[in-house]
A and B are shown apart, each in its own frame.
Chain A
Amino acid sequence: MADKNTLKFTPEHEWLDISGTVATIGITDYAAEKLGDVVFVELPKVGSSIQSGKVVGEIESTKSVGELFAPVDGTVTEANGAVTDRPELVNEDPFGAGWMIKVEVADASVFDSLDLLDFAAYTALVGE
């Protein structure tokens, strides 16, 4: 499980673990709890280009449907097959085994240009 203090967050309740030009992306524990038990996850194909702000996946619980938004422009380099096989990983380990996709950007500086929150700011946002 990633150290939350090293992660970046979006107001759409996604987290990014940034390493060089690649970000691992998932949804937060807050989002997972709000959704309830996740029963279906659909992720973009490896190699596909994604555009910031566009819906690239679906996270469906028994009671509702959430969307995975691309937080950045880039190319999908990995999609977590474990989480599509076992959607409950999203609830069990949202910051670890429940990760969704890895995205590569053209240049590491792209991440600096995003309006991302640190853990303290995200915690304040969700009021916990």
Chain B
Amino acid sequence: MPDNTAPDHPDAERPTSERLSPLHQIHVDHGASFTDFAGWQMPVSYGSDLAEHHAVRNAAGIFDISHMAEISVTGPDAAAFLDYALAGRMSSLALMQAKYSLLLDERAGILDDLIVYHNAPGEYLVVANAGNHDVAVNELTSRASGFDAIVTDRSDSTSLIAVQGPRALEILEATAGLAVMDGLQSFADLKYYWSTGATFGNGTVFVARTGYTGEDGFELYVDTADAEALWRALEEAGTPFGLIPAGLASRDTLRLEAGMPLYGHELGRDIRPAQAGLGRVVHFTKEGDFVGRAAAEAGLPDGSRMLVGLVSDGRRAGRAGYAVVHGGTPVGEVTSGALSPTLGYPIAMAYVDAAYVEPGTVLDLDIRGTMVPATVTALPFYKREKN
């Protein structure tokens, strides 16, 4: 058995710095197995990644994602600066609203995908991938030149806990000591991609109805000093609802079923937003320039491959790097794949030549030398039932 079990990651080859989450001891106490993720030792699972996956779909899971990068942008020009630095129109965000966006380079290649929260007047919180922490901080800092805006890396002082699943709302409402601040929206009234503020103990928690699982859920930004107490309170409140701790392995299968891209797999410097199905994130209608605008407006170069979903029969999944074949000729490559725990059949995301993107197109996956038919399908693979 080769020890090839660590999740693929652009930083996988980087010597591990073994940074520990502020919640590390809790994970150890829960018997977690760990993986190196962008230099962090993060819980990959607490025993059964399948059980954790199903818990999130049917009840709830609690995730430590404190490795994510939190960058604050403040100042009178904060909105104008973000309009320039990112591909989306952040100046249109209402107070407490959030938006998914992209950090592009001049060639319109994707440096990172991120979420921007407008958490106070003249104040934004940009949440970037752990593996792109340095790139995001450095790019935002250099792009801020000429704007009256201050970019501050708050990653070390901020921890991030996600509670995801159909019981997430009830769990937050039942969490001892967690109370929405006066005048702000209750957890129940919070819409998807909106946020609110709460007190917890003597501190404050920034709570957003966002996530990376395809379920209802919340992400809670908390001072690192209070993270352990908040996790314990959420877990205590959640256990009667079926909440269990969930690791990065289940997070990956959950986001894959939901058709959500993962940087280093579906997204990268050589991928333009339109290829990844993220053309809607790039706002050509906004006034003024933004980094990558000219290249993005020029359209995709001929021969650009496009992201599709693939489903197949049996139990063998296409994996990142496997060839997608048509009539014996390679026409694409898998970026993520797994036997879908929820659906029971193999699913994959892949970049394929533009001629093969139509749903219903039958291609082959080269699974370690065996050709397995796979059908192009619209993303996402899984969509929760809204109540």
- Name A's B-contacting residues (CB within 8 A): 12-14, 27, 31, 33-37, 39-40, 58-69, 91
Contacts and interface: CB of A to CB of B under 8 A. Distances in A.
B317 A60 contact: yes
A34 B5 contact: yes
B2 A34 contact: no
Contacts of B317: 60
Contact of B33 (A13, A14, A33, A40): A33
Interface string B353-372: 00000000000000010000
B340 to A, nearest CB: 9
Contact of A62 (B1, B3, B4, B50): B50
Q: Chain B: interface residue count, which band? A: 20 to 34
A40 B316 contact: yes
Interface stretch (B41-49, B162-170, B192-200, B288-296): B41-49
A63 B7 contact: yes
B153 interface: no
Contacts of B49: 36-37, 61-63
Given A36-B44, A37-B48, A66 B5 contact: yes
B1 A13 contact: yes
B316 A14 contact: no
A43 B7 CA distance: 25
Contacts of B268: none
A40 B53 CA distance: 17
B253 interface: yes
Nearest to A64: B5
Given A36-B45, A39-B315, A40-B316, A63 B1 contact: no
A37 B341 CA distance: 10
A34 to B, nearest CB: 5
B265 to A, nearest CB: 13
Contacts of B249: 36, 62-63
B338 to A, nearest CB: 5
B2 A12 contact: yes
